[in-house]
Amino acid sequence: MTIDIVLQDFWSPIVMFLVIILTGFVVYLLYRMGNPDFKRTEHKGEPFISANRPPEDIGKIHVGGDNVFWGFIKALENYFEPLIKGHTGIVNDYMYWIVCTLAVVLVYLYFAV
């Protein structure tokens, strides 16, 4: 009995099974390479906020997305400005963009196939 593996025109469950087994083996090897002397500390599970100690009442901690992604947004400001202007919050505008995008995709598929 021979098993032929064909990688063309359809999904092969045998190949997928082998990929899962290989990935699991690599993950296990990486796990075994970890530091066995690692000791969990008393601060396990506490949030790390720029090396500052969190307040006693954890419920008071709130870091907004604007603070976390400030540098990212500042660096790509020229890209984000038109996107922010395009988000009006009006459902009709969103539906307009969905219909236009769908029309472009369908025209592309019609001529590509």
Tell me which of 6 and 18 has the higher pLDDT: 18
Contacts of 55 (CB under 8 A, 6+ apart): 61
Least confident range of 11-25, 49-63, 82-96: 49-63
pLDDT digits (tens, 9 = 90+) for 11-32: 778 889 999 999 999 999 998 8
| Residue 5 pLDDT exceeds 70 | no
pLDDT at 81: 87
* Mean pLDDT within 76-104: 89
pLDDT at 89: 84
Cβ atoms of 100 and 92 within 8 Å: the answer is: no
Cβ atoms of 73 and 80 within 8 Å: the answer is: yes
Using only C-alpha atoms, the chain has a radius of gyration, in whole angstroms, of 25
